[in-house]
Amino acid sequence: MLELLRVIIVLGRYRICCLYRDEYKYQPIPSRVRFFATIIEIVLYPFRIKTHHFGEALCAAMQKLGPIYIKLGQTLSTRPDLIGHDVANSLKDLQDKLPAFDANEAIHVIEMEFCRAIHMIFSKFDNEPVAAASIAQVHKAWLHNGTAVAVKIIRPTIKEEYTKNIRFFYFIAGILEKYHPRWKPIEITRIFDVTMQRELDFMLEAASLSEMRDNFNGDESVYIPEVYWEATSSKVLTTSWVEGASIYNRDVVIAFGIDPIALSKKVAIMFFNQSYRDGFFHADMHPGNIFIMQDGRIALIDFGIVGRLSDNDRFAVAEILFGIVKRNYMAVAKTYLRAGYIPQTTDIFLFAQYCRAICEPIAGLPLKDVSLARIIEQLCGLTETFGMSAQPQLLLLQKSMIILEGIGKSLDNDINMWKLAEPWIKKWAAKNISPEAKFIRFIKKLIEEYS
């Protein structure tokens, strides 16, 4: 009850119900809930905090409620199919930065995890953290062989706080489900629960990092930090230190002697290698997680959120993109149907017409003004129109593409990074989605089924 009271007070401060009423006409909140929510807001906060719209107010309220609510908001921001595109876009602005906790607490966590004194694990441990977020903070340290490492330590009370909050979330979700199941509150809570369980176990993050490092073994354009397993546990993650600058900083890129256009091409190819070659991609490439090193390599850190595409998804998305480029909208529609993204009963001609309505307006635009990520976002929205929920893995892919397009624009606003990667894309397509490649995959599938 105390948590419920705290949430009511914070939501009242930001007049969440009033803003929702103004923008969405209170649909579909029951009248009794509307009445009591409005009374509470007016009594507690007669003068509303200035906010422009519901999404902005919700973002500010989650920031005020604390780390678990921030993570919930970030998870929801990747699911516009469940909460709407406007609110999802507002929640993307949530900042996952909190004050650092005391270094002595961090050292205590490390020593308890490995049952050894800190000096037996690291020759030197910097007490000043280099980053602090809702789940953990990072310190620089040195192994006894002189290697600089990044040590990520979980916040001491975060698991207990999460356990308390997730029970509350399921309680509220159960109530909301009765009034309006279309919101899918229990499904949203379950998705958040799965995501958080993964982020709270650093062994899983270490495994993701290790898999990505193996995938890029021998690729001199990308650097994935090494995991030091002897100093890694579910609460502590130790990786090689990355020395570099944010890839978004064009001036630093030029100061390093790196051509921004060539770097944009590298970024695009890196993404296509992750998504289409491996079917496993970093799904949280914000400015703090992607660096440019002085030798020109792209470095990725923080693998708490990753995406995985099945072979079916990889080839389907590639065929959809090629169909768009060729303006063959019937081919796009057939790919959607074959991949199971729309019901088998769908009017394929009508769906192709919708695809044309989305894609034709960009057909004559300069390449620099074309956003493949935005096109995929609109096409994902079509699945809802035709009676199916959007695919979570494709939404993560689309989110990553938007972030990467932002990187490309920050490096050179007059280029299209996907166009730069076109030779690689054509080579991959010839190998994987040409008629010959499809025939080979079909034969292999038959052999597997009857062997």
Give pLDDT tens digits along the chain (451 positions).
Answer: 678 778 877 877 776 766 666 665 545 555 555 555 566 555 555 555 555 677 888 888 888 888 888 888 887 776 676 677 778 777 877 766 778 999 999 999 999 999 999 999 999 999 999 998 889 999 999 999 999 999 999 999 899 889 989 999 998 888 878 876 766 788 778 878 888 888 899 999 999 999 999 999 999 999 999 999 999 999 999 999 999 998 988 899 999 999 999 999 899 899 989 988 899 999 888 778 899 999 999 999 999 889 898 888 888 888 887 787 778 899 989 998 988 888 889 999 999 999 898 888 766 666 567 677 777 777 777 777 787 766 777 777 877 887 888 888 888 887 777 777 777 777 777 777 666 556 555 555 545 555 5
Nearest to 323, CA basis, from 296, 359, 347: 359
Regarding whether 301 and 167 lie in a shared domain, the answer is no
Do 177 and 254 sit in the same domain of this protein? no
- pTM (2 decimals)? 0.80
- Asked if 200 and 269 sit in the same domain, the reply is no
Q: Which two tokens stand for residue 19?
A: 């803003």
Domain finish residue from 96, 116, 151: 96
Residue 36's domain comprises 2-96
Tokens 């176990």 belong to residue: 201
CA 318 remoteness from chain centre: 20
Total domains, the chain: 3
The pLDDT of residue 304 is 87
Q: Mark whether 37 and 152 lie in a shared domain.
A: no
Same domain, 86 and 221: no
How far are the Cα atoms of 109, 140, 146, 149, 242 from residue 123, in angstroms, in the given order?
17, 11, 8, 11, 18
User: What is the DSSP pairing of strand 222-223 with strand 298-300?
Assistant: parallel
Boundary-marking domain end, from 220, 241, 262: 241
Q: What is the pLDDT of residue 446?
A: 47
50 and 110 fall within a common domain: no
State the catalytic residues.
Answer: 284
Per-residue confidence (pLDDT) for residue 208, from 0 to 100: 96
* DSSP annotation of 148: E
Are 221 and 125 in a shared domain? yes
Distances (CA, A) of 298 to 43, 225, 269: 53, 11, 11
In terms of domains, do 269 and 342 share one? yes
Cβ(101)–Cβ(137) below 8 Å: yes
Last residue of a domain, one of 241, 268, 285: 241
pLDDT score of 137: 95
Residue 181 and residue 161 in one domain: yes
Q: Which two tokens stand for residue 96?
A: 């996952």
Quote the pLDDT of residue 26. 45
65 φ/ψ angles, rounded to the nearest 5 degrees? -70, -20
User: What pLDDT, on a 0 to 100 scale, did the predictor assign at position 140?
Assistant: 98
Cα–Cα distance, 383 to 376 (Å, whole number): 11
